[in-house]
Structure 1
Amino acid sequence: MRVDGSEPAREGAPRSLDTLPKAHLHLHFTGSMRHETLLELAERDGIALPDSLVSEWPPQLSAADEKGWFRFQRLYDVARSVLRTEDDVRRLVLEAAEDDVRDGGRWLEIQVDPSGYAARFGGITRFTDLVLDAARDATERTGLDMAVIIAANRTRHPLDARTLARLAAQYAGRGVVGFGLSNDERRGSTSDFAGAFAIAERAGLLLAPHGGELRGPDHVRLCLDDLHADRLGHGVRASEDPALLDRIVQSGVALEVCPTSNVALGVYTDLTSVPLPTLLEAGATVALGADDPLLFGSRLAGQYATMRAAHDLSDETLAELARMSVRASRAPSDVRDKTLADIDLWLE
C-alpha cells in the first residue's frame, strides 16, 4: 500500500480511469445536469417530464433525420425549463464540478448559450455573470479549475450569434475562454456565422464550433475555412477523408470526440465503430468529452472506459489521450503543468 493509502496497480491490471487526471473540453451546460437533480427540480415546481426522462432514462435517441433531432432538442428544452432560480444554476455548476472531480477532472470548460436563459434570469449579461460566479464558487469548493465557452445557436439568426460573440469578447480573460456554435449542423448556413467568429477571434478567444458529427468532411472544411476553428466540437468524421485529417493534424486543430453521444445519436452503430484508432494513428489531437450526460447517461471517465473496452486501448494510450485533453485546453500554465505531471505519476 502507498503512503497515501491507495493500492498500487497490480502488474498487468488496468489502472483506474477515475484517477487518471484529465481535462473536460466538451460539456454542455444543461446537459451536465444530474438525472436526480432534474427529477427533484421538476417535482418541486410541478413540471411534467416525458417518460423518456423519467422511467425510460436514459432516453432512446436518434438524429438520423431532422425529426429525430427535434425530439432530442425537445428533451433538452424540457430539462432547461427546470432551472428556475439562481440557486438552481449554482447547484448545476457545482454538481458538474463534483462529477468531473470524481472522474479525475482537473480542468473543465463548460459550454453555455446565455440567450437560452436570458428571459428568466434578467438578460444575457446578468446570466453570464451568474454562471461565472457559480464557476468561481465551484472551484473554491471542489478544487476543479473551470472556464466558460459561450456558444451561439445555429438555428437562430447569425446576428444573434454576433451579439453573443461580443458578449464573449467582453468577458475574455475574465472566465470566458472561447466561443462556439452548437445545435443541428444540418440547419442554417455555417458560413453565415463567420462574422461572429471574427469578433471572437479578434478578442483572442478559442474558436470551437460543432462540426463533423452529423455532417461529414465537407462541413469540417467549412468550419476550418470560414470559422477558423481552433478546436472542433466532435470533428470525428474527418476520419473519412485522409487529406482533410492530415490538414487537421498539421494545423494542430483538436477534435472533441464524444463516443457515447456519437452512438446514441446514430452517427455510429456501436462503440467499436467510433474511429478513434484512425484519428490517433493519423496523429490527431483528440480530447474525449461527455457532451450531454443527462441525455446520454455517461460522464467523462465513461468515455475513456468505453474506448478502452471497444478498442483495447493500453494505459499508455489512455494517458496520452488525457495529455492531449490538457494540451488542447485553455487551462493556465500552472494547471496544465501540474496535471501533465500527475498523468505521468498515474502511469508509474
Structure 2
Amino acid sequence: MEVSICRAVATLVPLLWLVGAAGGMPVPAQRDLLMREEASRQTGGRVALTVAEQKLAARLHRLKEQEMSAARFPPAMHFFKAKPLIQRSSIFKLLQKMPKGAALHIHGSSLVGVEWLVRNVTYRPHCYICFTWDNSVRFLFSDRQPFPRWDCFYWQLLATLRAKVGDPTSFDNSLMQRLTLFTEDPDAEYPDQDVVWEKFEEAFIAAAGLITHAPVLRDYFYQGLEELRQDNVMYLELRSGISKTYELDGTIHDKVWTLKTFQEVTKKFTADHPDFLGARVILSVHRALSVSEVKAAVQEAIQLQKSFPDVVAGFDMVGREDSGRPLWYFREALSLPAQLGATLPYFFHAGETDEEGTDVDQNILDALLFNTTRIGHGYALAHHPLAKELSRKKGVAVELCPISNQVLKLVSDLRNHPAAVLMSEGHPMVISSDDPSLFGTTGLSYDFYQAFVGIGGLKANLGTLKELAVNSIRYSSLPAHLKDAGRAMWQNQWDAFIADNS
C-alpha cells in the first residue's frame, strides 16, 4: 500500500507542474496525459489486457454505447421495470457467462429463488399455511394440526387448500408475491423507505417456516449453491443468524447442528462440482437486540468459530440501520473479543443510509474503529473523506449491492449512486446481491450489470469487470492458500470465457 501511495505522489508532482505550466492554450499531449492518468485510477484502470481481452473490451464498449443511447436506459429505471430490458441486453448475456468469482454479501433467508420454495417446498407433505390479520403468510411443517401461535390462529394443510383452489397456478403466484418485494408499480406500492422496509422484513418472516424445517434446510443450502454456480459464481460467504431448525415432530436443533449441516452440504456440493470453491458463514444478529443479548451472541460466535474454523468467517449486525441502534451503542459487546484475547473478524453493515450527519451515519467510522474486514453496502462512504481514506489504506473493501440500494429507495437512478465516485477512484470494492430472492434475481449477473453499465458508466470496461471479480477472492475471508487456489481456478474459467467470446 505504501508503494502505491509513493507512486501516486510521484505521478502527481509532474502532473501538477504540467497543469500549472500550461499558460495559454494547452496542447493536446497535455490533455491526453491527464485523461490517461485519470482513467488509470478508476477500478480496473491499471489492469493490463491481452490482445483477446482488448478485442472483447472493444465489443463491450460498442454495446454499452448503444445501450446508453437507448430511449429506455435500464439503470435509470426501477429494477422491477428494468428487469425485462436487462434480460434482453447483449451485455447482460455476456455477464451471465463471465466468471464472477465470489458472492460475499448474501443473506441466508434470501439465498434461493422463491419459485423453488413455492413449487418445490410448499408441495411437500405436512406443510401447513396460515394467513395473518395483515394478509401475510406463515408456513409450518408438522405431523399434526399446529397449535395457534404468533398471529396465526388457524393453520390449514396447504395441499388441502390448494386442492380447493380453482387455479393452483394463480395461487402459487400469489404465494410467491408474498415472499418477494416485486410489484408492477413499485413507486406507488413503496412510497418511502419505511413502507418498503416493512414489506422487506415481513417477507423474511414469511419464508422462515419453510427454510428452517430441517429436511428443507439441507436442500435449500444445496439449491442456493447450485443457483450461484449456474451464474458462474464459485464461492459464497453467507450472512446468517443460523436459526434453530425443527423436525416434523417439533424437535428443535441447535446452531451447532445447523453449522454441521451447512458444512456437510458444502462438502457434498464441492465434491459434486469441483469447479466450485466452497462456502462460509458470517454469523449475524439483529441490531434491535439489547447490549447484553449482543454480548451473548459475540461470545457464542467466538466459540462457534473455534469449533468450525473452516466454516465460520466472522460476525455482523444486520437489520435496517436507520431504525436500529448504531454500532457505537454496542461497543461493550463488540469489544469482547479483544478483551478475551480472542479473534473474531467483523464484517459490518455500515453506511446503508442517506441520513447524512446522524448517529447512524457514523457507523462507517465506527465499523473501521472496530477493525471491520469489509463494509457492507457503504452507501454513505463517499460523504466521509476520512473513512474513505482509512478504508483504502487498510484494504477494507466495500460490498456494493446496487439493486438492493435502489429497491430499498436509497437511490432511484443508479447513475447517481455514490459508488460512482468510489469506482472512479479505484476504491477497494466487490459486487454482491444482498437479498436476491426478494428482488427477483439469482447469482450476481444483474448486480454486475447495474454496476458496470449504470454506476461505472462508459468509462467502466473489461478491466473493471476483471478487477471486480478478482477483488471478490482477494477480499474474501479465505486463508491465503485457498485464495491462491481460488484465483487459479478463477483464472482458468476467465481464460475460457475470453476464448469463447473474443
* TM-score, length of structure 1 as denominator length: 0.86
Question: Of the candidates 148, 166, 171, which is equivalent to residue 304 of structure 2?
Answer: 171
Q: Is residue 450 of structure 2 the alignment partner of residue 317 of structure 1? A: no
Question: Of the candidates 110, 113, 116, which is equivalent to residue 34 of structure 1?
Answer: 113
Q: Hey, what does 1:206 align to over in structure 2?
A: 345
Q: Hey, what does 1:337 align to over in structure 2?
A: 484
Q: Is residue 211 of structure 2 the alignment partner of residue 83 of structure 1? A: yes
Query: How far off its partner does 1:82 sit?
Result: 1.3
Question: Of the candidates 98, 104, 126, which is equivalent to residue 25 of structure 1?
Answer: 104
Distance 1:84 1:151, change over 3 A: closer
Q: Is residue 288 of structure 2 the alignment partner of residue 160 of structure 1? A: no
For 1:257 and 1:140, locate their aligned partners in 2 and report how far apart those are by CA, in whole Å: 30
Letter in 1 for 2:451: M
Distance 1:116 1:239, change over 3 A: farther
Letter in 2 for 1:35: V
Q: Is residue 59 of structure 2 the alignment partner of residue 13 of structure 1? A: yes
Contact 2:105 2:432 in 1 (8 A): yes
Q: CA offsets, 1:314-337, max 9 Å, x none?
A: 111111011111111012434422
For 1:161 and 1:120, locate their aligned partners in 2 and report how far apart those are by CA, in whole Å: 26
Q: Hey, what does 1:5 align to over in structure 2?
A: none
Contact 1:152 1:160 in 2 (8 A): no
Q: Count matched residues.
A: 340
Contact 2:179 2:203 in 1 (8 A): no
Query: How far off its partner does 1:309 sit?
Result: 2.0
Letter in 2 for 1:248: S
Distance 1:281 1:308, change over 3 A: closer
Q: Hey, what does 1:95 align to over in structure 2?
A: 223
Query: How far off its partner does 1:88 sit?
Result: 0.9
Q: CA offsets, 1:55-93, max 9 Å, x none?
A: 895524759444432221011110112125322111111
| SS state at 1:95 partner | helix
Query: How far off its partner does 1:177 sit?
Result: 1.1
Q: Hey, what does 2:451 align to over in structure 1?
A: 307
Q: Hey, what does 2:273 align to over in structure 1?
A: 142
Question: Of the candidates 357, 363, 367, which is equivalent to residue 223 of structure 1?
Answer: 367
Contact 2:326 2:363 in 1 (8 A): no
For 1:235 and 1:63, locate their aligned partners in 2 and report how far apart those are by CA, in whole Å: 23
Query: How far off its partner does 1:52 sit?
Result: 7.6
Aligned Cα root-mean-square deviation (Å): 2.8
Q: Quote the sequence identity (%).
A: 21
Distance 1:196 1:270, change over 3 A: same
| SS state at 1:291 partner | coil
Q: Hey, what does 1:114 align to over in structure 2?
A: 242
Letter in 2 for 1:183: G
Contact 2:349 2:378 in 1 (8 A): yes
Letter in 1 for 2:182: P
Question: Of the candidates 219, 234, 244, which is equivalent to residue 387 of structure 2?
Answer: 244
Contact 1:139 1:146 in 2 (8 A): no
Q: Which moved more, 1:211-220 or 1:88-97?
A: 211-220
| SS state at 1:207 partner | coil
* TM-score, length of structure 2 as denominator length: 0.62
For 2:180 and 2:259, locate their aligned partners in 1 and report how far apart those are by CA, in whole Å: 30
Answer with 1 or 2: which has the greater Rg: 2
Q: How does 1:231-310 map to 2 (within 5 A)?
A: 231-298=374-441, 299-310=443-454
Q: Which moved more, 1:95-104 or 1:284-293?
A: 95-104
Q: CA offsets, 1:247-269, max 9 Å, x none?
A: 22122211111011000000111
Query: How far off its partner does 1:271 sit?
Result: 2.4
For 2:178 and 2:256, locate their aligned partners in 1 and report how far apart those are by CA, in whole Å: 37
Q: Hey, what does 2:331 align to over in structure 1?
A: 194
For 2:292 and 2:388, locate their aligned partners in 1 and report how far apart those are by CA, in whole Å: 31
For 1:266 and 1:194, locate their aligned partners in 2 and report how far apart those are by CA, in whole Å: 29
Distance 1:120 1:209, change over 3 A: farther
> Which runs of 5 or more structure 2 residues have no equivalent in the other structure?
1-51, 61-90, 138-173
Query: How far off its partner does 1:243 sit?
Result: 3.2
Q: Hey, what does 1:132 align to over in structure 2?
A: 263
Q: Which structure carries more relative contact order (alpha carbon 8 Å, separation 6+)?
A: 2
For 1:232 and 1:122, locate their aligned partners in 2 and report how far apart those are by CA, in whole Å: 32
